[in-house]
């Protein structure tokens, strides 16, 4: 029996762990600041006047407004905190499960330092307002490329390590890591496809509904494959280690893995329920979300039951405490997720803080506690010493737990309360009872409690940092050296060709192709595909009877062959993504739109839109009136039928701006038609002067508003020179701009800006500007026509503008039965026409 | 068929397809998990515990 001595690379693990703790504290601190901004608008910069003793003067500071800090918080927590924690966990466990050192120290170094550079780049660009305007996908395109490259380096290093492993079998934790690497690469690349307009700006290739669908396919699965599957892999490795007993059921872990990977990828559309997303996609998202209950709880129970016989440790061992609570929070969050995906529940919860509470029970409870448990387990091993203080770790646990419970309970209460208030009507049933800002005022106590809960959780993590630092100081960095047996059995003997060209795979693939043909081919041709499918199935059964053992062996061998395993995982996730996205890419184009079709933005309005995106307004304001009565009553216009947001109204929006949370009201109908006699000036719900004063001081419009003021928009100039390139890219993406040269574009922007400025500084009751007290109206018009505030007002006044497209001879819609959503039968048609048994009896004369 | 998903029996088709897909995946993985040899299962489950413990 050959043996070999291996020294593991634990330096990379230590580095990732330390950075995870540092970035975690930064991310959580930013989160706490952002939370306080919702209670006190002064936290958007005004507070700096007090703490700098007047050195800083101003109502706000652009770098720290909620719209810019919130993306920094989410990116820091997801990619910096959990990302680094995940890499630490993966590097440590993969080496031990493969019984080999990581394949390349150089690649590990590039991965580790490259990832930290990306985080630093994000920490600079996001507060600077450089964003793509898509949640958790905000980073600008050069950073996107860096992320993709570093991820590929991670993948190469990981798979290379698998290839040189000394353990033939692939433990289930490695399966979860494989799924993470493959799926995150796919999601990230597709959702970040963009065309640059400059080094710091780009437009996503998808627009409107397509962009929404791709975004939430990515966004949901970022939760699934970045925050869940790698942590499950970590659970399957570290929980048995901490409890010193094997996983409760290896069988259950197999079912857990495949069911989870296969189902998770389909559930993205549940983020777009009751919107203008086609109903079939909404139903798909809802159903697959409900199905997720089973594998998620299977995994949770498998984790908790691994502690059987080790529950006594719960009293003394902080690692077990964190893991047990973390897995329990996984169960709670994965129970709540499907619940919120039920359309009826989603009516209440969506766009409210209930979702925020749900997300944080996962992020703080599952990710945060699993991270802490892993750190406390790893630190003594990585520095060859004992944990500095078990009591401090226990204190971290209890402070963190109270923090999470406070946070989540506050957000549940706030979400349900606000959701109910927003839908409440007056006794006549035709008008709404509460103004939006009244509902915001009603949840202020909960907002403060949330900030306090978040602060407690942050304090807990600071204790963790102290504990780990002291532990490291009390020991020496240590790399484990072990003697391992070199396997004599064959591994990875299945090359790519054999993986694909064998009976089970060939039958499955061919079956899928025929199934698709049956779905998509026109009448009669689809029947032929169905017959071929049945014949193939019969032949497959015969084949299995003849070569059943061989087929079984193929699957057994799969568990020892990482390449075919990876391909199968890729196929599973690609199918789920393709079924959702491809039909929408093919169908949802402007030439298929009937009814409302979005009007194109003028150059100035486009510039204003980019400012809106840059300021992160989408973090608080949606642009999607859902197909729900309270939404239509609140945000629709009087005298317009079906005034929810239609699919065609945002079809040219790159990126879409439907939003995911309403801290402020929806803005889909904020704009309005052109003012009579003007080619440039529009007036919507409010006139230009209202917007001017509101952006300077939102408390002018309503004293209970928590929106930050935007004084810098009155100072900074609009980047008019960038517009020709931006419009060229929009045209490239399919937005039907008419041909304009550079000068025409710039002139058009200037003309509109001048016309809007005149409505502010000329005529009755002109507005004034403190920064230019002596300036005449004409001077103010000339100056402000170049400033950002005017471009933003132009955009606000354009929101919700559309034209109606009539099409000759469109197919007649088929009315559906409102209860079953099936075609009306003869009987239900009679009911529809009012013919009931009672009416018939009444109509017939009795003898 | 494609048209039907959009306009007609979409509710039925999506529900049925989703259920069939889930059930198939669940069935196949469950059968595979059950058929795993007990000795192999125990060996795989104890893989994390094989390296040296302090």
pLDDT digits (tens, 9 = 90+) for A684-737: 999 999 999 999 999 999 999 999 999 999 999 999 999 999 999 999 999 999
Mean pLDDT of A530-536: 92
pLDDT number for residue A472: 97
Q: How far apart are CA A446 and CA A452, in angstroms?
A: 10
Residue A563 pLDDT > 50? yes
Mean pLDDT of A141-156: 97
At residue A518 the predicted structure's pLDDT band, cuts being 50, 70 and 90, is confident
Question: From chain B, which residues contact A within 8 Å (Cβ)?
Answer: 1-2, 5-15, 18-19, 21-22, 25-26, 28-30, 32-36, 41-49, 51-54
pLDDT number for residue B27: 84
- DSSP secondary structure letter of residue A363: I
CA distances A430 to A307, A423, A476, A633, A639, Å, are 56, 11, 71, 8, 13
Chain A: closest CA distance from residue B47 (Å): 7
Contact at CB, B29 and A259, closer than 8 angstroms? yes
pLDDT digits over A41-91, tens only? Answer: 999 999 999 999 988 888 889 999 999 999 999 999 999 999 999 999 999
pLDDT digits over A200-220, tens only? Answer: 999 999 999 899 999 999 999
At residue A811 the predicted structure's pLDDT band, cuts being 50, 70 and 90, is low
Contact at CB, A258 and B29, closer than 8 angstroms? yes
Q: Which percentage of chain A shows pLDDT scores above 90?
A: 71
Q: How far apart are CA A173 and CA A257, in angstroms?
A: 9
Contact at CB, A482 and B22, closer than 8 angstroms? no
Within 10 Å of residue A349's Cβ, how many Cβ atoms? Answer: 22
Residue A310 pLDDT > 50? yes
Q: How far apart are CA A366 and CA A290, in angstroms?
A: 20
pLDDT number for residue A430: 81
| DSSP codes joined into one string, A668-704 | TT---PBPTT-SS-B--SS-HHHHHHHHH-HHHH-TT
Phi and psi based region of residue A470 (left: phi greater than 0; alpha: psi -120 to 50; beta: remaining): alpha
What SS3 class is residue B12? helix
Asked whether residue B41 is assigned to any structural domain, the reply reads no
pLDDT number for residue A700: 94
Contact at CB, B10 and A279, closer than 8 angstroms? yes
Contact at CB, A93 and B21, closer than 8 angstroms? no
Residue A641 pLDDT > 60? yes
Within 10 Å of residue A431's Cβ, how many Cβ atoms? Answer: 9
CB-based contacts of A52, cutoff 8 Å, min separation 6: none
Chain B: closest CA distance from residue A772 (Å): 58
Asked whether residue B53 is assigned to any structural domain, the reply reads no
Structure-block tokens of residue A635:
């945000």
Contact at CB, A278 and B41, closer than 8 angstroms? no
Chain B: closest CA distance from residue A579 (Å): 11
At residue A348 the predicted structure's pLDDT band, cuts being 50, 70 and 90, is very high
> A412 and A354 in contact (C-beta within 8 Å)?
yes
Contact at CB, A254 and B21, closer than 8 angstroms? no
Nearest CB to B54 within list A97, A255, A381: A381
> A114 and A153 in contact (C-beta within 8 Å)?
yes
Between A97-101, A222-226, A279-283, A554-558, the lowest mean confidence (pLDDT) is in: A554-558
Between A98-112, A324-338, A375-389, A811-825, the lowest mean confidence (pLDDT) is in: A811-825
- Chosen CATH of A611-805 out of 3.40.50.920, 3.10.129.10, 1.20.1250.20, 1.10.760.10: 1.10.760.10
b/e per residue, A72-93, with b = 16+ CB within 10 A?
bbbbbbbbbbbbbbbbbbbbbb
Cβ neighbourhood burial of A352 (10 Å; 0-12, 13-18, 19+): buried
- DSSP secondary structure letter of residue A645: P
> A210 and A584 in contact (C-beta within 8 Å)?
yes
Residue A387 pLDDT > 80? yes
Residue A185 pLDDT > 90? yes
Q: Measured between beta carbons, which residues in chain B are less than 8 angstroms from residue A820?
A: 11
CATH topology of domain A3-478: Cytochrome C Oxidase; Chain A (1.20.210)
What average pLDDT is seen over chain A? 91
Residue A473 pLDDT > 60? yes
Of residues A227 and B31, the one with the higher pLDDT is: A227
Q: Measured between beta carbons, which residues in chain A are less than 8 angstroms from residue B13?
A: 280
Contact at CB, B45 and A247, closer than 8 angstroms? yes
Q: How far apart are CA A499 and CA A506, in angstroms?
A: 10
pLDDT number for residue A634: 93
pTM for this model (two decimals): 0.90
Residue A495 pLDDT > 90? no
pLDDT digits over A768-796, tens only? Answer: 998 888 888 899 999 999 999 999 999 99
Contact at CB, B30 and A291, closer than 8 angstroms? no
pLDDT digits over A536-560, tens only? Answer: 999 988 888 887 767 767 667 777 8
CA distances A571 to A537, A547, A691, B18, Å, are 20, 24, 50, 17
What SS3 class is residue A661? strand
> Which of A303, A311, A317, A295 has its CA nearest to residue A235?
A303
Structure-block tokens of residue A206:
């998808």
Nearest CB to A284 within list B14, B26, B48: B14
Number of domains in chain B: 1
Q: Measured between beta carbons, which residues in chain A are less than 8 angstroms from residue B6?
A: 278, 280, 587
Q: Which residues of chain B have pLDDT under 50?
A: 1-7, 52-54
How far from the centroid of its chain's Cα atoms is residue A49's Cα?
35
Asked whether residue B52 is assigned to any structural domain, the reply reads no
Structure-block tokens of residue A474:
């009390």
> Which of A694, A678, A673, A690 has its CA nearest to residue A754?
A678
Of residues A348 and A571, the one with the higher pLDDT is: A348
- Search chain A and give the residue with CA nearest B24: A259
Chain A: closest CA distance from residue B16 (Å): 10
pLDDT number for residue A459: 98
User: What domain range includes position B6?
Assistant: 2-36
- Is the Cα dihedral A394, A400, A404, A410 positive or negative? positive
Q: How far apart are CA A285 and CA A342, in angstroms?
A: 9
Q: Measured between beta carbons, which residues in chain B are less than 8 angstroms from residue A250?
A: 33, 36, 41-42, 44-45
What backbone torsions phi and psi does residue A265 show, to the nearest 5 degrees? -65, -20
> A723 and A793 in contact (C-beta within 8 Å)?
no
Q: Measured between beta carbons, which residues in chain B are less than 8 angstroms from residue A257?
A: 29
Chain A: closest CA distance from residue B52 (Å): 8
- Search chain A and give the residue with CA nearest B17: A284
Nearest 5°: the CA angle A40, A46, A49 is 135
pLDDT number for residue B1: 45
Contact at CB, B48 and A173, closer than 8 angstroms? yes
Residue A593 pLDDT > 80? no
Asked whether residue B54 is assigned to any structural domain, the reply reads no
> Which of A402, A296, A414 has its CA nearest to residue A349?
A414
CB-based contacts of A275, cutoff 8 Å, min separation 6: A212, A282, A624, A626, A627, A645, A658
Q: How far apart are CA A287 and CA B19, in angstroms?
A: 9
Contact at CB, B48 and A288, closer than 8 angstroms? no
Residue among A250, A265, A475 with most chain B CBs within 10 A, to mutate: A250
CA distances A671 to A564, A597, A637, A660, A805, Å, are 54, 15, 11, 21, 20
Among A288-297, A322-331, A801-810, which range has the highest average pLDDT? A322-331
> A471 and A383 in contact (C-beta within 8 Å)?
yes
pLDDT number for residue A429: 79
Mean pLDDT of A340-354: 95
Alpha helices per DSSP H over A38-133:
47-51, 66-75, 83-98, 105-125
Contact at CB, A283 and B11, closer than 8 angstroms? yes
Q: How far apart are CA A176 and CA A565, in angstroms?
A: 11
Q: How far apart are CA A358 and CA A644, in angstroms?
A: 27
> A665 and A623 in contact (C-beta within 8 Å)?
no
Mean pLDDT of A627-638: 91
Nearest CB to B2 within list A480, A519, A552: A519
Q: Measured between beta carbons, which residues in chain A are less than 8 angstroms from residue B36?
A: 250-251, 254
């Amino acid at each position: 029996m050959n043996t070999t001595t291996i020294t593991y690379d634990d330096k990379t693990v230590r580095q990732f762990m330390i950075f995870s703790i540092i970035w975690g504290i930064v991310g959580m601190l930013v989160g706490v600041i952002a939370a306080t901004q919702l209670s006190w608008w002064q936290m958007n910069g005004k507070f700096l006047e007090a703490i700098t003793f007047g050195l800083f003067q101003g109502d706000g500071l652009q770098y720290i407004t909620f719209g810019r800090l919130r993306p920094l918080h989410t990116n820091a927590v997801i990619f910096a905190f959990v990302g680094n924690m995940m890499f630490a966990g993966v590097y440590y466990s993969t080496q031990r499960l493969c019984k080999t050192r990581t394949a390349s120290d150089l690649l590990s170094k590039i991965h580790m330092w490259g990832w930290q550079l990306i985080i630093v780049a994000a920490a600079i660009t996001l507060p600077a307002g450089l964003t793509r305007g898509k949640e958790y996908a905000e980073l600008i395109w050069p950073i996107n490329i860096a992320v993709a490259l570093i991820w590929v380096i991670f993948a190469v290093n990981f798979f290379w390590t698998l290839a040189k492993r000394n353990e033939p079998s692939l433990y289930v934790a490695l399966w979860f890591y494989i799924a993470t690497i493959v799926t995150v690469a796919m999601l990230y690349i597709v959702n970040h496809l963009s065309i640059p307009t400059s080094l710091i700006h780009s437009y996503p290739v998808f627009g409107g509904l397509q962009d929404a669908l791709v975004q939430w396919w990515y966004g949901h699965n970022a939760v699934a494959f970045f925050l869940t599957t790698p942590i499950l892999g970590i659970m399957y490795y570290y929980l048995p280690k901490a409890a010193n007993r094997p996983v409760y059921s290896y069988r259950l872990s197999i079912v857990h893995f495949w069911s989870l990977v296969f189902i998770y990828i389909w559930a993205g559309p549940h983020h777009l329920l009751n919107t203008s997303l086609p109903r079939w996609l909404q139903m798909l998202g809802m159903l697959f979300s409900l199905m997720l209950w089973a594998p998620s709880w299977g995994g949770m129970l498998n984790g908790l039951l691994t502690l059987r016989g080790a529950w006594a440790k719960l009293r003394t061992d902080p690692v077990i405490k964190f893991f047990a609570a973390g897995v329990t929070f996984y169960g709670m969050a994965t129970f709540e997720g499907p619940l919120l995906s039920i359309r009826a529940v989603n009516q209440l919860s969506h766009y409210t803080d209930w979702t925020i509470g749900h997300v944080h029970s996962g992020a703080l409870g599952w990710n945060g506690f699993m991270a802490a448990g892993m750190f406390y387990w790893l630190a003594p091993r990585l520095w060859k010493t004992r944990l500095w203080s078990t009591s401090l770790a226990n204190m971290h646990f209890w402070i963190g737990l109270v923090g999470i419970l406070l946070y989540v309970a506050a957000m549940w209460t706030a979400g349900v309360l606000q959701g109910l208030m927003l839908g409440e009507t007056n006794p006549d049933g035709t008008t709404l009872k509460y103004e939006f800002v009244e509902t915001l005022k009603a949840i202020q106590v909960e907002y403060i409690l949330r900030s306090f809960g978040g602060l407690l959780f942050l304090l807990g993590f600071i204790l963790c940092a102290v504990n780990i630092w002291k532990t490291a100081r009390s020991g020496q960095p240590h790399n484990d050296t072990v003697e391992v047996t070199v396997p004599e059995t064959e591994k990875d003997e299945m090359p790519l060709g054999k993986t694909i060209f064998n009976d089970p795979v060939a039958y499955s693939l061919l079956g899928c192709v025929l199934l698709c043909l049956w779905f998509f081919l026109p009448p009669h041709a689809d029947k032929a595909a169905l017959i071929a499918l049945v014949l193939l199935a019969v032949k497959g059964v015969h084949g299995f009877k003849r070569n059943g053992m061989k087929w079984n062996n193929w699957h057994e061998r799969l568990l020892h062959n990482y390449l075919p395993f990876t391909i199968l995982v890729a196929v599973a996730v690609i199918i789920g993504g393709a079924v959702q996205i491809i039909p929408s890419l093919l169908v949802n184009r402007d030439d298929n739109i009937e009814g409302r079709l979005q009007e194109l933005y003028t150059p100035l309005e486009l510039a204003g839109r980019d400012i809106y995106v840059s300021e992160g307004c989408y973090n608080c304001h949606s642009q999607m009136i859902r197909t729900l009565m309270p939404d239509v009553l609140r945000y629709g216009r009087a005298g317009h039928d079906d005034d929810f947001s239609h699919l065609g109204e945002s079809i040219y929006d790159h990126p879409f701006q439907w939003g995911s949370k309403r801290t402020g009201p929806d803005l889909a109908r904020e704009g309005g038609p052109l003012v009579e006699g003007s080619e440039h000036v529009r007036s919507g719900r409010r006139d230009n002067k209202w917007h001017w004063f509101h952006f300077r001081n939102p408390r002018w419009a309503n004293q209970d508003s928590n929106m930050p003021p935007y004084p810098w928009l009155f100072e900074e100039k609009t980047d008019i020179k960038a517009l020709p390139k931006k419009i060229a890219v929009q045209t490239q993406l399919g937005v039907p701009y008419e041909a304009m040269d550079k000068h025409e574009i710039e002139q058009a922007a200037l003309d509109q800006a001048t016309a809007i400025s005149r409505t502010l500084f000329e005529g009755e009751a002109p507005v004034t500007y403190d920064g230019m007290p002596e300036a005449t109206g004409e001077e103010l018009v000339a100056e402000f026509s170049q400033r950002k505030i005017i471009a933003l007002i132009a955009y606000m006044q354009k929101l919700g503008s559309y034209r109606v497209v009539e099409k000759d001879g469109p197919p007649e819609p088929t009315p559906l039965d409102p209860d079953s959503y099936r075609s009306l039968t003869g009987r239900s048609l009679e009911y529809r026409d009012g013919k009931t048994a009672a009416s018939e009896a009444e109509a017939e004369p009795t003898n | 068929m494609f048209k039907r998903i959009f306009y007609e029996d979409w509710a039925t088709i999506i529900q049925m397809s989703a259920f069939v897909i889930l059930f198939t995946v669940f069935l196949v993985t469950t059968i595979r998990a059950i058929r795993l040899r007990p000795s192999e299962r125990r060996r795989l489950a104890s893989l994390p515990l094989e390296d040296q413990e302090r």
